[in-house]
Amino acid sequence: MNNKLSKYVGDRAFYKKVLAVSVPIMVQNAITNFVSLLDNIMVGRLGTEEMSGVAIVNQLFFVCYLALFGAIAGAGIFTAQYFGKADDEGVRYTFRFKLVICTIIIAATVAILYFAGDGLIDMYLRGNDDGGDIVATHHFGYEYMVIMFAGLPAMMLSQIYSGTLRECGRTFVPMVAGIIAVVINLIFNYLLIYGMFGFPEMGVEGAAFATVISRWIEALIVIVWTHHNSHINTYIVGMYRNFRIPAELTFSIIRRGTPLLINETLWSLGMAMLMQCYSVRGLSVVAGMNICNTVVNIFYVVFFAMGDAVAILVGQLLGAGKMKEAKDTAVKLISLGVFSAVVLAFVVFFTSGLYPLFYNIDEHTSELAVGFIRLSALFMPQIAFLHASYFTIRSGGKTFITFLFDSVFLIVVSLPIAYVLSRFTDMDIFMLYFLVQLADGIKSAIAYILIKKEIWINNIVND
């Protein structure tokens, strides 16, 4: 019995190593999401239309954020393994690749949203008339979107530098930068949304300006620290001396990273379309789901950090050729993530009624938010397992497989279920949401089989 348990539970040294990597990420994300909650409450106290407009635009930007994440993560698989191999030149190549591909993504995002933003926002305002002011919601969303363009380059640079630091095992500085950024965001939200201490009262526009300011400060912190400490971050020396990326490595990153980029982009598009399906049930559903997502994201940071730990620790072990250790670490991290999710699910479920009290919303929207939060709590262990499994498979470079069981599953299975049930039935929104989430049980079974078969155990940076 003890032998079986030891397969899933590590010793003190193991958890010490995991905590060293995951806690800074966890703290940064927890603070970021907590301030995001406060930010959401501040905008929400302006009214349902303001909150819904911002939520819709953030759903559109979510596609860009996930595309950036996919591009950075694709090259990051190589970064972690090159670092495990102590190859600074390899890290430089992957860093430069991130800069090129992310610049293209940002430019494409601005072009698409600038010329087609109006129509995209309107897609979420075609549902049932439940008393919300659709014209006002569109107006607030559009003015928020235009200002947010200025923060995209900063977010790109911050993610590239922070991602590289994490892949090289340095998670503390990105955490500090993230904490400073969210505190500044919170302060300027208070000053600019409500016009405190002589600042102009800007409402939704103030929330956008606060976010832009905080993103540039976060980017500057990680950039300055990385270059100032070149004796530690030795790969940064000569980073911009030239922009050479070997053709063979470029094709290798594209071959393994493109499925990941496409996966994250399609997944975020699928989630945006999923939200649009839910929005058919009314503007209050958009507001209720926005509150739910903001709240549960605070708790998700625990087992999401386990996914980051998998990507870093398992990736480095695979790059160093320690295959048995990599397998053992992955199993223990997945188990830890699921156990953490079970504990958090109880907390979230039984405190669900508290969160809507902080918003200036009607009783119907409040009931929707509580219902979504409780349903999300029920599926937390499943989400934790899927997240850790995804990073395990990805750490060995099996990005095409993650593409199939992640975004392809969403578009082929989950999205059609939501579309048919939202358009062709009068099914209650809670049952609709439950059935869509329940379908991910199929994906969980696929993930379990893939982990068990060990197809992900692979070194991709061998000479």
On whether the CB atoms of residues 53 and 91 are closer than 8 A, the answer is: no
- How distant, in Å, are the alpha carbons of 44, 185, 312 from that of 358? 9, 19, 37
3-state helix, strand, coil in the chain (%, to 5): 85, 0, 15
Q: Supply the mean pLDDT for the chain.
A: 82
Residue written as token pair 């155990």 = 457
Kindly state whether residue 462 falls inside one of the protein's structural domains.
Answer: no
On whether the CB atoms of residues 365 and 287 are closer than 8 A, the answer is: yes
Residue written as token pair 């068990």 = 452
Q: Among 109-123, 143-157, 387-401, name the most confident range.
A: 143-157
CA 118/CA 132 separation, integer angstroms: 18
What letter would DSSP give residue 240? T
Residue 128's pLDDT is 53
Give the residue with greater pLDDT, 48 vs 142: 142
Residue 170's pLDDT is 83
Kindly state whether residue 137 falls inside one of the protein's structural domains.
Answer: yes
Of the candidates 203, 193, 41, 50, which has an alpha carbon nearest to the alpha carbon of residue 132?
A: 50
Residue 221 in this model has a pLDDT that exceeds 90: yes
Kindly state whether residue 460 falls inside one of the protein's structural domains.
Answer: no
Residue 332's pLDDT is 82
Q: Which residues contact 60 (CB under 8 A, 6 or more apart)?
A: 113, 117, 120, 121, 145, 272
Q: Among 48-52, 140-144, 255-259, 450-454, name the most confident range.
A: 140-144
Other CB atoms within 10 Å distance of the CB of residue 317: 24
Residue 379's pLDDT is 94
pLDDT band at 32 (very low <50, low <70, confident <90, very high): low
Residue 20 in this model has a pLDDT that exceeds 90: no
On whether the CB atoms of residues 103 and 339 are closer than 8 A, the answer is: no
Give the residue with greater pLDDT, 160 vs 337: 160
Residue 129's pLDDT is 52
Residue 1's pLDDT is 47
Q: What is the CA 200 to chain-centroid distance, rounded?
A: 32
Kindly state whether residue 263 falls inside one of the protein's structural domains.
Answer: yes
pTM for the model stands at 0.70
Q: Of 43-57, 172-186, 429-443, which range is least confident? A: 43-57
Residue 4's pLDDT is 61
The mean pLDDT of 74-87, rounded to a whole number, is 80
Q: pLDDT above 70 covers what percent of the chain?
A: 91
Element (H, E) at 312: none
Residue 13 in this model has a pLDDT that exceeds 80: no
Of the candidates 25, 77, 78, 82, which has an alpha carbon nearest to the alpha carbon of residue 235?
A: 82
Residue 238's pLDDT is 82
CA 113/CA 234 separation, integer angstroms: 38
Element (H, E) at 404: none
pLDDT band at 463 (very low <50, low <70, confident <90, very high): very low
CA 42/CA 37 separation, integer angstroms: 9
pLDDT digits (tens, 9 = 90+) for 247-267: 887 788 788 777 777 777 788
The domain of 316 spans 2-453
Kindly state whether residue 88 falls inside one of the protein's structural domains.
Answer: yes
DSSP 355-399: GGGGS---HHHHHHHHHHHHHHHHTHHHHHHHHHHHHHHHHTT-H
Q: pLDDT above 90 covers what percent of the chain?
A: 20
Residue 459's pLDDT is 63
On whether the CB atoms of residues 373 and 355 are closer than 8 A, the answer is: yes
Residue 370's pLDDT is 93
pLDDT band at 192 (very low <50, low <70, confident <90, very high): very high
CA 102/CA 106 separation, integer angstroms: 6
pLDDT digits (tens, 9 = 90+) for 369-416: 999 999 999 999 999 898 888 888 877 767 677 777 778 888 899 999
What letter would DSSP give residue 406? I
pLDDT band at 191 (very low <50, low <70, confident <90, very high): very high
pLDDT digits (tens, 9 = 90+) for 305-333: 777 777 777 777 776 667 777 777 778 88
Kindly state whether residue 129 falls inside one of the protein's structural domains.
Answer: yes
Of the candidates 244, 191, 240, 229, which has an alpha carbon nearest to the alpha carbon of residue 213?
A: 191
Residue 124 in this model has a pLDDT that exceeds 90: no
Kindly state whether residue 415 falls inside one of the protein's structural domains.
Answer: yes
Maximal C-alpha separation, the chain: 66
Instruction: Give the relative orientation of helices 88-122 and 152-167 as an angle to the nearest 10 degrees.
Output: 140
The mean pLDDT of 185-190, rounded to a whole number, is 89
Number of domains observed in the structure of the chain: 1
Residue 380's pLDDT is 92
Of the candidates 237, 202, 178, 182, which has an alpha carbon nearest to the alpha carbon of residue 34?
A: 182
The mean pLDDT of 184-192, rounded to a whole number, is 90
pLDDT band at 218 (very low <50, low <70, confident <90, very high): very high
Other CB atoms within 10 Å distance of the CB of residue 414: 23
CA dihedral sign of residues 262, 268, 271, 275:
negative
Residue 107 in this model has a pLDDT that exceeds 90: yes
Residue 346's pLDDT is 93
On whether the CB atoms of residues 219 and 158 are closer than 8 A, the answer is: yes
